[in-house]
Chains A and B, each alone.
Chain A
Amino acid sequence: MKVAIIGATSGIAKEVAKIYAARGAALFLVARDGEKLDSVERDLRARGAQQVERYLADLSDLSLHDAIVSAAGSAVDVVLVAHGVLPEQSKVDNDAQAQVEAFELNATSVISLVARFATVMEAQRSGVIAVIGSVAGDRGRRSNYVYGSAKAAVHAYCDGLRSRLSAAGVSLVLIKPGWVDTPMTIRSKKNALYVHPEAIARGIEKAIERRSATVYLPGYWRWISLLVRLLPARLVRF
């Protein structure tokens, strides 16, 4: 089995990679920081990855995306698109440029890569594309609307693309994690709803196995998110 992981040094992606490594998969890892990727690569080899290929790239540079997808090669069974950034909302509130940059990394670059992998997989008539969205994309919130709006774009894109790919036997799995205790949320105060990325990773593996359409992780976020969406805008100040 060949698994491509985009944003391989991110908190959730690393845990997913560990699961596939233990299953003896061949891994293709894309990340920006070579030293971090070194340590991730050594870890995955020790866990039993049959093969680890790596590709260093700044994913915000869309001109590199064609090269990334061709480096991943043919016969990729699973691609996990996991890169992203959570800007500190209060710091970017009055910085349009920073907002656009965050949006481009979280939405545009994700769409750009997913589109390219979709073309390849549609031609090979097999494969699973898993994309990490977020409960933050279900409704814009004052505390993270820049991040949330990008995720919302990704959600809508994935929903449409999924319908197109189904004819070719390719699945698109959209993952919507709730609050995960990763470096991305290091500044947030932790409460009982924060879960370990390892638990999220197990859920992602299962969703890929089942070729689910959209999964909330942990599952109870489906209901929290529903409630949050139903609240009337006039009353909402969060």
Chain B
Amino acid sequence: MTTYGSNHESWGRWVRSKPARVIDVQWSSELPRVDDLVLPYGLGRSYGDVCLNNGHTLLDVSRLNRIRHFDVEQGILDIEAGASLDEILRLIVPRGWFLPVTPGTKFVTVGGCIANDVHGKNHHRAGTFGCHVSSFQLVRSDGTRLRCSAGENPELFAATIGGLGLTGLIVSAELRLRKIESSAIVAEREPFRSLEEFDRLSRDCDASHEFTVAWFDSSSGRNSKGIFFRGNHAGAEAGAPVVTRRRARRLPIAPFSPFFGPVAVRLFNTAYFRANARGEPRLADYDPFFYPLDAVANWNRIYGANGFVQYQFLIPDGAGLEPVAEILDRAARSRRASFLTVIKRFGSVPSPGLLSFPRAGLTVALDFSTRRSDALLPLLELFDDIVEAAGGSVYPAKDARMSASRFQRFFPQWVEMKKHVDPGYSSSFWRRVTG
């Protein structure tokens, strides 16, 4: 199920934005010439404002989604950039292939995965999504059509991967897929009782498991409980690959949701922890393993009318655990509910993008309701201080509020990036952090 007829907002729904117009881009042979600043828009799963273009033009590419070529022997898929990972899985899984890297939702487009150089549970092995893109076609606002790869237009290739959609329209891309013998995942869960314990577990498992991630009940700061999820693709003995067909439910969410306060979050976290405490290996379906939240089509609505922000930061290797621990402690003390705190160790595979977020270290994603945002914003500013002092950064794909000066210090390469930004392209995010 791909959501069409989108209202062209962002996933966090906190940043209010109204594009001057939305142009449907369906055919690569029929690209519009627009006399305004444009930004490609896919399925709107970016949390903040990297997918918004307030007062200007959005190019809705969600129907630019045809396969150009699928080499089933070699696992090379050439596909238009508006195709969703959901559509791709339905095509490739029955033929014994899987996405080399996937984020936590399948309702994102290939173009969006490249533009945000997204990562997944296997970052410590496979690096980012961009590591598996061998080439793509880019159309600039002056009509120039370029093939970009490590060998052709390499600078634009690097600037476009993680380039937040600002270098032109990615029309199609060629992906190198991962071979699988079964669509099942041999999954294990292991509870842990502190950040330190997580760190030990993660270091132990990264060599033995392709997929690792942890869920953290951050209500007690660094000494919170959590569950460590790890897994590997199952072998042929688990049965032939099949596509999971799960029907997404919709929460009947009212515009305001008073019952989702801190108490409810605590109850939810405790229940979730109990339900997941046992951890013997079992065969899990790939869909609930990789995309647990896709089961609820509109989970972003649980935060009510004001929406929410997600704060995802990175503390590089070498800075130790203390900066992460301090942020977790402060988040817990603020008593601001975070439904899902996700923590993951990134590996050292270099990201191919100029502005890519992942590098070796720990990354944590915290959700905050934006009710009483006047108190939230200073708290996040404080987190920024800790992240900056540790030499880390904040993930633009999730961001809705970091200051221009902060962004420019987190990503000093933005100066280089600026040279590659198409003069006809812009976004709410880009104007905010460079304006």
Contacts and interface: CB of A to CB of B under 8 A. Distances in A.
Interface stretch (A36-44, A77-85, A129-137, A205-213): A36-44
A139 interface: no
A46 B5 contact: no
A36 B68 contact: no
Nearest to B90: A22
A35 B241 CA distance: 35
B111 to A, nearest CB: 16
B4 A39 contact: no
Contacts of A35: 27, 29-30
A46 B24 contact: no
Given A42-B68, A43-B67, A36 B27 contact: yes
Interface in B1-57: 1-5, 7, 24, 26-30
B91 interface: yes
B63 interface: yes
A173 to B, nearest CB: 25
Given A42-B67, A183-B63, A196 B4 contact: yes
A35 B28 CA distance: 9
Contacts of A43: 66-68
Interface residues of A, number: 19
Most chain-B CB neighbours within 10 Å: which of A36, A40, A43, A197?
A: A43
Interface in A158-207: 181, 183, 186, 190, 194, 196-198
Contacts of B29: 33, 35-36, 38-39
Contact of A42 (B4, B26, B66): B66
Chain B interface secondary structure, helix, strand, loop or mixed? loop
Contact of B69 (A40, A42, A196): A42
B27 A46 contact: no
Contacts of B3: 196
A187 B371 CA distance: 35
A59 B63 CA distance: 24
A183 B132 CA distance: 32
Given A39-B28, A183-B26, A194-B4, A47 B67 contact: yes
Interface in A19-44: 33, 35-36, 38-40, 42-43
Given A35-B27, A39-B27, A190 B67 contact: no
Interface string B58-84: 000001001111100000000010000
Given A36-B27, A39-B29, A196 B2 contact: yes
Contact of A39 (B2, B5, B66, B91): B66
Chain A interface secondary structure, helix, strand, loop or mixed? helix
Interface string A41-77: 0110011000000000000000000000000000000
A198 B5 CA distance: 13
B327 to A, nearest CB: 40
A132 B111 CA distance: 33
B27 to A, nearest CB: 5
Contacts of A186: 24
A186 B25 CA distance: 11
Contacts of B27: 35-36, 39
A183 B24 contact: yes
A46 B2 contact: no
Contacts of A39: 27-29, 66, 68, 80
B5 A40 contact: no
A77 B63 CA distance: 29
A197 B4 CA distance: 9
Contacts of A47: 67, 91
Nearest to B70: A46
A183 B26 CA distance: 8
A36 B66 CA distance: 11
B78 to A, nearest CB: 9
Contacts of B30: 35-36
Which are the 7 A-B pairs with shortest beta-carbon distances? A190-B5, A35-B29, A43-B66, A46-B67, A46-B70, A181-B4, A181-B5
11 contacts: A11-B63, A35-B29, A36-B30, A38-B29, A39-B28, A40-B66, A43-B68, A183-B63, A190-B7, A196-B1, A196-B4
Interface of A: 11, 33, 35-36, 38-40, 42-43, 46-47, 181, 183, 186, 190, 194, 196-198
